[in-house]
Structure 1
């Protein structure tokens, strides 16, 4: 179906709405936080992750935490790929705003591994819902030299592979890992910006806003880091990224407080409505709250247009958020954290809203 060039929003959105019952309810997540990691395993064996969990259970001798992380990663990747397969034409093209997250994650793992030294026999667990297949990243991980990996990227030809090739070339020139990562991000964002603008229309604007808000969060992290390191011995300065949605580079460079930084932007209301004190909260708490606001915005974006790409963005965001929440549960239970502490870290975007799709 995805080979057809005609957009199929009506079909796609009706199929996605029919799948909403497969998500784990927030109350169930909080209840699991009061249990054990074994109880979480049993829960997953009777959930949408049962197939991937059983397959991983047979083939892996990993710890319960390792089994859960791998099974949920594979299960989410499968559900995202199924969603992508439902789309055709414009919505399929726009879904790169989500699928390229997988490619970018894997590209950064490769870049760091080759830069810092790695064991070719101990490859990472790749995210498997992107445009680039995991075996491509396997081949890069197995490269003996940075130049070999770069050649493979150039041969592949995908824009994300080429972006990684530019970053690997930066490392060959002797640039630091942070600056090489900056090269990767700049090339990636530049491609996505041009790609979505070329598509045009309301769906394109939505994809650009998702991308731009992601950049806002990255830049917010850089802004906090610059303020924390102010007055300390000189260090390698990492510039802000282009293509942010609401936080321009000029605003980031001139703002002397979080309130000034986000005043007059949607971020201000979205974080303020969570009850966060912008003046008193610590940078760590503020970054967590901005991240929460981003997930919440994506999850309820479908309300903007029930017939457009916004529905797919909201559905994919819920998949990725469920993945994050299960990982929070698994790690917390494995480390023996108290139930209240685990539950406080879960991101429940439905808590303050009772609306249904």
Structure 2
């Protein structure tokens, strides 16, 4: 790691600001949604993802959907790694608020595979932009026993590898998979919170807010689940996660309506102009809108400070959002969904940021 090197925000941000306008435009998504999946593939072959199509693994896939998903995954991972390699010192360490998402995704795949039984020859498509390499997760996936995987995690020594090893131990003791996953997630959040607080400064506060808003989203999902299951036999409420930004555990535990839960917070500000009745709209729709608000907030964060870590957050968020939108488009076209149906699921951050 480069934590002892001087931060290079001026150089990094000058490079990233020039790239903030390099993403697929909403009008292009709308046009592609009216076409076919083959037309989407031809578009990508003439885009920033063209090089990914030359990867050996992509060429082995027989369906256009599988090729698109793999090529875009590889392309986004490469662009994130390139961005990370531009940074040194403080911004490099703060970028773990994004790169650790890759590690968490892969760790959960390993945990589920080893806990529920898996075919070692059918490994998942790992996210490849994290601190831990896909090769490390390959080695865990190939482990014959949970104990073998735990030993590999211990030998690796990375905080998230150690957290995965502890979660595997929880499962090995006979606890449920959800409990083991919860252990992994708690360890992940505790590590990030401690890491960013140790760095300190305004960039650290930004990283903590990104993490905290992610926790808020998870907790909103838990809140809806607990409300749905309340009063049912053998139903225990799921505890809320720590380290949220705007939704305290006290608020989560005592709020009896959506308005009480998010009122007076940026979460309400982010959706109040949509004309949604908070008490009658479905939880699924509300969670989708809160998720969109989170992407919008990240995408416009660079306006808060053109010289700080906020620029990197916005650029990396827009990369991840493009990945998500292309996948939504590809799956919709493959399943024959209507253009309006596909467009309604895409997240557009091209306009003005809403309050929050």
Q: Considering the TM-score relative to the shorter chain, is it more than 0.5?
A: yes
Partner in structure 2 of residue 68 of structure 1: 68
2:187 maps to 1:187: yes
**Which consecutive unaligned segments of at least 5 residues does structure 2 have?**
none
Equivalent residue runs for 1:202-221 within 5 Å: 202-221=202-221
Deviation of the 1:62 alpha carbon:
2.7
Q: Is the 8 A contact 1:56 1:70 kept in 2?
A: no
CA RMSD of aligned residues (A): 1.6
Aligned positions of 1:190-339 closer than 5 A: 190-235=190-235, 237-339=237-339
What displacement does 1:2 show?
5.7
Q: Alpha carbons of 1:74 and 1:353: their partners in 2 closer, same or farther (altered >3 Å)? A: same
Aligned residue pairs total 354
- 1:108-160 per-position Cα deviation (integer Å, ceiling 9, x unaligned): 00011111111000000000000000000000101111111111111110001
| TM-score of the two chains, using structure 2 as the length reference | 0.96
CA contact (8 A) 2:99 2:129 kept: yes
Q: CA deviation at 1:351?
A: 3.3
Moved over 6 A (4+): none
SS in structure 2 of the partner of residue 336 of structure 1: coil
How far did residue 243 of structure 1 move? Answer: 0.6
- How much has 1:249 moved relative to structure 2? 1.1
Q: Which residue of 2 aligns with 1:49?
A: 49
Q: Which moved more, 1:130-139 or 1:147-156?
A: 147-156
> 2:164, 2:184 within 8 Å by CA — same for their partners in 1?
yes
How far apart are 1:273 and its partner, in Å? 2.9
Structure 1 residues 105 and 83: CA distance shift in structure 2, 3 A: same
Is the contact made by 1:328 and 1:345 (CA closer than 8 Å) also made in structure 2? yes
Q: 1:24 aligns to what SS in structure 2? A: coil
In 2, the alpha carbon distance for the partners of 1:134 and 1:162 equals: 16
- What do the CA deviations read for 1:282-335 (whole angstroms, capped 9, x no partner)? 100000000000000000011110100000000000000000000000000001
Aligned to 2:336, what secondary structure does the other structure show? coil
Shift of residue 246, structure 1, vs aligned partner = 0.7
Q: Given the alignment of the two structures, is residue 117 of structure 1 paired with residue 117 of structure 2, yes or no?
A: yes
Question: Distance between the aligned counterparts of 2:275 and 2:2, measured in 1?
Answer: 43
> How many Å apart are 1:20 and its aligned residue?
2.7
TM-score by length of 1: 0.96
The alpha carbon displacement at 1:174 in A equals 1.1
Distance 1:237 1:156 in 2: 35
